């Protein structure tokens, strides 16, 4: 099996595990939250994503020797990602009407409902995270560190801060370093945290945690560079969301700085560099394959 084939198999496994866990969470939320909000929560959780972040949790977990079931941890990370997509698509942010091949949550319901869904999902993610680390039987210190890493990556130093800067930058010209700082926080931080919490859940030693963080940082950036390329080159049908948004929102992107070929080369460079962070013997085939997949994906 090649590295890429191994990554594709891992992604399929992660998709299966995550979809099952999210369906359980969605069914519970729909029971507990009557009416439209419950339905909208289940709608948002029911969309079919690639589940790249759960696959990275699983790969980090297994690289550190984990042999249990990190399914709830994978789901917690995906719930944070799902909330960010629901809010990202809102009229006050990127104002998009399609996501994962379906109407966005605010189009299927309404913007106020979608805003509430996003806020509620943050609390749901923390609840699922807490259950995940308890079920894995982790010590309090490991549970605390996993929560700290995931929530810090989601907050002002990570995803929210990156999105904020990204919105402020619309219509303004940036230098490449500004763009890298935005991408690293908006998209890279959660991807980095996915790798790290996977490792921590399996008791990874500090050198591996550091290596997974470096690997995650580089593939996280590569992921957003590849996203810029797809936005400029793929069709809406292929992406399941509106293509060409970066140009219509006048965003600076890696494609606007480097052109399509230059951006592709940059993503490739970052993916190669990512593997160099891992300590000798831990650069597993699945991690190598995922880095390759992230750069060459078609959606
Ligand atoms: C309050 C300012 C403020 C922000 C709230 C909305 C938000 C937080 C953050 C936005 C983060 C975001 C949407 C980043 C883009 C990341 C990205 C490239 C998403 C696409 O991920 P894929 O390709 O999607 O993994 P699927 O659908 O496969 O899961």
pTM for the predicted model, two decimal places: 0.97
Distance in angstroms (rounded) separating the CA atoms of residues 230 and 209: 31
Q: What distance in Å separates the CA atoms of residue 75 and residue 290, rounded to the nearest whole number?
A: 19
Are residues 252 and 173 in contact, defined by beta-carbon separation less than 8 angstroms? yes
CA angle 271, 289, 215 (to 5 degrees): 40
* Span from the CA of 216 to the centroid of ligand 1 (angstroms): 16
- In this structure, the number of other CB atoms found within 10 A of the CB of residue 242 comes to 17
* Ligand 1 centroid, distance to 281 Cα (angstroms): 32
Whether residue 283 is predicted with pLDDT greater than 80 in this model: the reply is no
Residue 249: per-residue pLDDT? 85
C-alpha to C-alpha distance for 201 and 197, rounded to whole angstroms: 6
Distance separating alpha carbons of residues 74 and 50, to the nearest angstrom = 13
Tens-digit pLDDT profile for residues 32-51: 998 999 999 999 999 889 99
User: What distance separates the 2 farthest-apart alpha carbons in the chain?
Assistant: 53
Residue of 22, 78, 81 with the most ligand 1 atoms within 8 Å of its CB, for mutation: 81
pLDDT, tens digit, for every residue of 80-106? 999 999 999 999 999 999 999 999 999
d(C-alpha 105, C-alpha 130), whole Å: 26
Q: What is the mean pLDDT of the chain?
A: 96
What are the tens digits of pLDDT across the range 217-264? 999 999 999 999 999 999 999 999 999 998 988 889 999 999 999 999
Residue 250: its pLDDT value, please?
Answer: 87
| Lining residues, ligand 1, CB within 6 Å | 49-50, 52, 81, 84-85, 87-88, 93, 100, 159-160, 163-164, 186-187, 224, 227
CA of 174 to the centre of ligand 1 (A): 20
159-181 pLDDT, tens digit each: 999 999 999 998 888 899 999 99
Residue 284: per-residue pLDDT: 86
CA of 1 to the centre of ligand 1 (A): 32
| Predicted pLDDT of residue 225 | 96
pLDDT at 282 > cutoff 90: no
* Ligand 1 atom closest to the CA of 88, numbered from 1: 6
Residue 99 backbone dihedrals phi, psi, to 5 degrees: -150, 135
pLDDT tens per residue, range 60-80: 999 999 999 999 999 999 999
C-alpha closest to that of 256 among 246, 266, 248: 246
Give the chain's count of helices (H) and strands (E).
15, 2
Output the CA 88–ligand 1 centroid distance in Å.
Answer: 6
Structure tokens at 287: 């991690």
Report the residue among 14, 87, 119, 251 best suited for mutation to probe ligand 1: largest number of ligand atoms under 8 A from its CB.
87
- Which residue's alpha carbon is nearest to atom 2 within ligand 1? 164
pLDDT of residue 241: 92
Angle at 276 between CA 178 and CA 287, to 5 degrees: 95
- Report which of 78, 6, 61 is spatially closest to residue 212, judged by C-alpha positions: 61
**Of 17, 83, 27, residue with least CA distance to 51:** 17
Among 118-132, 146-160, 170-184, 209-223, the minimum mean pLDDT is found in 170-184
């Amino acid at each position: 099996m090649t590295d890429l084939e191994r990554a594709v198999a891992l992604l399929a496994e992660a998709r299966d595990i995550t979809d099952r866990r999210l369906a359980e969470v969605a069914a519970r939320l729909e029971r507990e939250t009557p009416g439209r909000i419950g339905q909208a929560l289940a709608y948002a959780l029911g969309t079919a994503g690639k589940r790249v972040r759960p696959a990275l949790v699983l790969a980090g977990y297994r690289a550190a020797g984990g042999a249990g079931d990190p399914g709830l941890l994978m789901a917690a990370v995906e719930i944070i990602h799902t909330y960010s997509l629901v809010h990202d698509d809102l009229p006050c942010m990127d104002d998009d009407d399609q996501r994962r091949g379906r109407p966005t949550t605010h189009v299927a319901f309404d913007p106020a409902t979608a805003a509430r869904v996003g806020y509620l999902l943050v609390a749901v993610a923390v609840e699922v995270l807490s259950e995940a680390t308890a079920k894995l039987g982790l010590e309090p210190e490991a549970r605390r560190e996993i929560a700290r890493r995931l929530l810090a990556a989601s907050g002002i130093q990570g995803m929210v801060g990156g999105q904020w800067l990204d919105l402020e930058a619309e219509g303004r010209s940036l230098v490449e370093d500004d763009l890298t700082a935005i991408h690293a926080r908006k998209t890279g931080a959660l991807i980095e945290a996915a790798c790290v919490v996977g490792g921590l859940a399996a008791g990874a030693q500090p050198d591996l945690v550091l290596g997974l963080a470096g690997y995650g940082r580089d593939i996280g950036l590569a992921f957003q560079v590849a996203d810029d390329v797809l936005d400029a080159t793929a069709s809406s049908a292929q992406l399941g969301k509106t293509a060409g948004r970066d140009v219509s929102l006048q965003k600076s992107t890696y494609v606007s700085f480097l052109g399509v070929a230059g951006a592709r080369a940059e993503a490739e460079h970052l993916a190669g560099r990512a593997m160099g962070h891992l300590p000798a013997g831990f650069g597993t085939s699945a991690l190598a394959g995922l880095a390759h997949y992230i750069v060459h994906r078609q959606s």
